[in-house]
Structure 1
Amino acid sequence: MLKGIPSILSPELLKVLMEMGHSDELVLADGNFPAASHAARLIRCDGHGIPELLDAMLRLFPLDQYVERPAALMAVMPGDKAETPIWDSYRSIVAERTGRSDAFEEVERFAFYERAKSAYAIVATGESALYANLILKKGVVTGAQ
């Protein structure tokens, strides 16, 4: 254990966050996402929800300040009646931790899968909300942070 590091962040996840460079992407995958078949690097965080992980990660992980939308949500499929209240949680967490209220884009489901395949890592969670998948683009760590 270390001081100041949220205990929800495992040593394996911390290592990957440290290894990532500017503009590398990380997927936070819900429990239905095909994480194992899409991941170059797979990190298991079973039993944890994405909002808790997102909040802990954004204490350490800067979002890319050089792109318009450093976070991507998997868009609801046309005709699907699924609700996405978890997106409001994500927006609130990102705004609180980064000051950005406009960080999100929506990516069509199959385009999201393709983008996830090229991500630096996929974090498989136990999140049960539908359409809860999220891609984060890492920013630059500066001395001011």
Structure 2
Amino acid sequence: MKKIGILNSEISRVISELGHMDMIVIADAGLPIPLHVKRIDLALKEGIPSFIETVETVLQEMCVENAYLAQEMESASPTKKGELIAVLPGVPIKVITHEELKALTHQAKAVIRTGEFTSFANVVLEAGVIF
């Protein structure tokens, strides 16, 4: 049994297989997920697991070069946006429309679906390199 880090085998595998500029998405419970993209469904019930908790856990193992979030998050979920920015220190954040974010999901290696019920609580994480 794995002793430390992410215990979810699908998330651990996806992160270990990422190359430079590959993307994963951490999503609220309502974001549409393209059929051809790997869905890692963690949603158990409303709020479990939370969006921020999931982002924090993924960031422990993933080198992130850029993060993309929807501009609609500012007006619909400003508190959640602030929490997200706080857990991404030093990571450039690119604000795009929600439609552009949904388009990026088609390029993602995986979408991790959380139990988050906050509107627009989604982020696309672009992998960096550790060297």
TM-score range normalised by the length of the shorter chain: 0.7 to 0.9
Q: CA deviation at 1:11?
A: 0.8
Structure 1: unaligned runs, 5 residues or longer:
65-69
Distance 1:138 1:111, change over 3 A: same
- 3-state secondary structure, aligned to 2:63: coil
Report the TM-score, using the length of structure 2 for normalisation. 0.86
Residue number among 100, 125, 128 corresponding to 1:136 in the alignment? 125
Aligned position for 2:76 = 82
In the alignment, is the contact (CA less than 8 A) between 1:39 and 1:116 conserved in 2? Answer: no
RMSD over equivalenced CA pairs, Å: 2.0
Deviations along 1:64-85, one digit per CA (max 9) or x if unpaired, are 2xxxxx00112218xx952321
Provide the C-alpha distance between the structure 1 equivalents of 2:69 and 2:112, rounded to a whole number of angstroms.
15
Q: What is the 5 A alignment of 1:1-145? A: 1-6=1-6, 9-35=7-33, 37=34, 39-47=36-44, 48-64=49-65, 70-76=66-72, 82-95=76-89, 100=90, 103-142=92-131
Report the TM-score, using the length of structure 1 for normalisation. 0.79
In the alignment, is the contact (CA less than 8 A) between 1:44 and 1:123 conserved in 2? Answer: yes
Provide the C-alpha distance between the structure 2 equivalents of 1:114 and 1:121, rounded to a whole number of angstroms.
13
Provide the C-alpha distance between the structure 2 equivalents of 1:81 and 1:55, rounded to a whole number of angstroms.
23
AA at the equivalent of 1:45 = L
How many residues are treated as equivalent by the alignment? 127
Q: CA deviation at 1:3?
A: 2.3
Q: CA deviation at 1:87?
A: 1.1
AA at the equivalent of 1:73 = L
Which structure 1 residue ranges, 4+ long, deviate > 4 Å from structure 2? none
Provide the C-alpha distance between the structure 1 equivalents of 2:63 and 2:3, rounded to a whole number of angstroms.
19
Which of the two has higher C-alpha Rg? 1
Identity of aligned residues (%): 24
In the alignment, is the contact (CA less than 8 A) between 2:29 and 2:115 conserved in 1? Answer: yes
Q: CA deviation at 1:124?
A: 1.2
Say which structure is richer in strand: 2
